[in-house]
Amino acid sequence: MRQPLSPPPWLRLILLSFLMLFVELALIRWTGSNVIYLAYFSNFVLLGSFLGIGIGFLRARARIDLFNYAPIALAFFVGFVLIFPVEIDRSGSDLIYFGAFRPTGLPLWLTLPVIFVAVAAVMAMIAEGVARAFVQFEALEAYRLDIAGSICGIAAFSALSFAWAPPVAWGLIAAVLFVVLLPPSPRPALRAARVVALIGLVFMLGRESIVPVWSWSPYYKVQVGQEPKGPYLYTISANGVPHQAIIATADREAAEPIYFLPYQHIAGNKLRDVLIIGAGNGNDVATALAMGASHVDAVEIDPRLLELGRELHPDHPYADPRVDAHVNDGRAFLEQTDAAYDLIIFALPDSLTLVAGQSSLRLESYLFTREAIGAARDHLAPGGAFTMYNFYRERWLVDRYAETLRSVFQSPPCLDDVGSGQLAALTVQLSGGGVCSTPWKPGAEVPAPATDDHPFPYLRQAGLPPFYLLTIGLILVASLVLVRGVAGSLRPMRSYLDLAAMGAAFLLLETKNVVQFALLFGTTWFVNALVFGGVLLSVLAAIEVTRRLRVRRPSVLYLALLVALAIAWLLPAAVLLRLDFWPRLLAAATVAFLPIFLANLVFAGRFRDVGDSTSAFGANLLGAMVGGLVEYLALVTGYQALLVVVAALYGIAWWIGARSGALSPAR
């Protein structure tokens, strides 16, 4: 007999899958806003989620139902993060992270393992609820309902991002779903603990959401403070790191003259049209207007930062009729506009977050590649100039960018700095002219420019930093211990090693599509949401085809998949970037989603006939976790080469299936 609020079994599975994906997305977004390490290692939350979900499915028939304890675990996790937030950043000689040196909270070596294990525990408990509903259906029908719930979860979280919803909205949705889905408990203590946990969850997230100086954009937790001394009127922190400061233009010229020096390199002082990428709160826009610009296109990816500029900047640059503000990715704007500019500025466009929870790509990564600088050059008017400035922290990064400009413009840039080599401006004119008394001189070892295929400007050399290698090893060891200790024997998964290989391959394929669309259409949250939604719709389409059609020879699907991967590999992004928007969208969607559709025809056909759907699905999810670790190979090989790894993994799955008899012709 069902409890009064309990939905029918099919709807229960959809809602449980909705809850599982929704909580996963919320944890990736929210923990990164409170623990700055996760702004650069957000893969930890994703990997912990996959590990936990895999464990939850392997426990589908365990005697104790851990889903009963999920809200308690989630509340404890939220409390831990709020008690021990980390507002700090790291730098090193091999890998640079921007931000401030303000260590708070627990150290890195303790924070990351605790978060990894805690996320795995929370997601394992939720996933166990999904798995217990999963086993009530035939395997393919259960998978279909699970994907339907996941699509709804993506849509709901995207809608909240569109509305700039604070964390309390996420908490309320999760709490309502827990109330509907939790089974009744005969133990009063457990019932009381769950109620207290849900109330505490909403209260903690609500308290964080109503702090007057905090607001939530689709990317950051933004904090605004008034500066008591000095020329700065307001400071803006993003995800706990000082990010920008609002200053009047007259005070800026006196305190920070470096931002005015690039204008001196423009031959004849010709300044009509200016493009500013990374316009932020409007300081650079106000500077351009003060230097005589007739028109300014101001591009900022985060709408909240632009809004703060409208509200708080004393010079009101965004109210000036000479200014057009664009909420967009800078590289995408360059690809979409036909305008020519006398000056293009990359104005401190260093983000504090990654594109998504499953890639090493930052919001600005595609701005600093050789191809991006080439796109900027192509938008310069005759005699126009390009400049970029930032707190570069390491001299080798200045050399990398200067070499990138030299290789694109065939002329060494002018280097203006404040003497420390950290705050520096690099300026180069299209014709190689202009006024420059301090041309850049390369050091002994200049790192090669970043490229669209290897968009990691803050990585000095292609390779895996020792910290990453150590972390990957520890994750693998911890995962084996947790799976064996919590889920029991690994023996049930031995029959589904091909599904594990498929899981690893699919995660890599999905990651490759995320970064491909980020390059082609911008690194915005909306583009990412469309990609994830498109992936899930492709999966759902493959399931519906498999339900109605049985392929007699599965090897044919493998061959078609490998052909589709080969086409994607032979068609680099540079070819697609030459197309106009709509042909580019059609070609990109075909290249991206055809392999996903075929991969899921392979998976769904295999999954339909498994004897133990939860063990099979658990093996697939744990394989996806391994794929998340393999994704770090892109730091060595670049992203296009991941398609070779994907093809190899599907080849392994094909070989395992053939040996086990899983690919025998269907009757």
pLDDT digits 0-9 by tens, 64-91: 999 999 999 999 999 999 998 775 443 4
Looking at residue 556, what is its pLDDT? Answer: 93
Average pLDDT, the chain: 88
What does the buried/exposed string (b/e) look like for 544-577 if buried means 16 or more CB atoms within 10 Å of the residue's CB?
eebeeeeeeebeebbebbbebbeebbeeebeebb
- The CATH class of the 221-350+370-429 domain is alpha beta
Higher per-residue pLDDT: 112 or 346: 346
pLDDT per position as a tens digit, 561-603: 999 999 999 998 889 998 988 899 999 999 999 999 999 999 9
Nearest Cα residue to 70 out of 10, 29, 23: 23
The total of other beta-carbon atoms located within 10 Å of residue 279's CB is 31
Alpha carbon distance 328, 344 (integer Å):
16
Alpha carbon distance 286, 323 (integer Å):
10
pLDDT per position as a tens digit, 283-299: 999 999 999 999 999 99
Structure tokens of 141? 């029908």
Is 363:353 a contact under the CB 8 Å cutoff? yes
Which of 41-45, 267-271, 393-397 is most confident? 393-397
CA angle 111, 113, 117 (to 5 degrees): 120
Alpha carbon distance 273, 379 (integer Å):
11
Confidence (pTM): 0.90
For the chain, the structural domain boundaries read 9-212+461-660, 221-350+370-429
Which string of DSSP letters, residue by residue, matches 129-186?
A: HHHHHHTTS-HHHHHHHHHHHHHHHHHHHHHHHHTT--HHHHHHHHHHHHHHHSPP-S
The mean pLDDT of 457-468, rounded to a whole number, is 85
Alpha carbon distance 74, 67 (integer Å):
11
pLDDT per position as a tens digit, 206-256: 999 998 889 999 988 999 988 666 788 999 988 877 888 999 999 999 988
Looking at residue 100, what is its pLDDT? Answer: 40
Is 177:15 a contact under the CB 8 Å cutoff? yes
Alpha carbon distance 256, 251 (integer Å):
8
Nearest Cα residue to 271 out of 260, 282, 280: 260
The mean pLDDT of 176-202, rounded to a whole number, is 94
Looking at residue 231, what is its pLDDT? Answer: 87
Tell me the three state secondary structure of residue 479.
helix
Looking at residue 275, what is its pLDDT? Answer: 98
Quick check: 352 pLDDT over 80?
no
Specify the residue for token string 């928007």: 581
Quick check: 399 pLDDT over 80?
yes
Nearest Cα residue to 355 out of 329, 323, 325: 329
Alpha carbon distance 45, 529 (integer Å):
18
- CATH 1.20.1250 is right for the domain spanning 9-212+461-660: yes
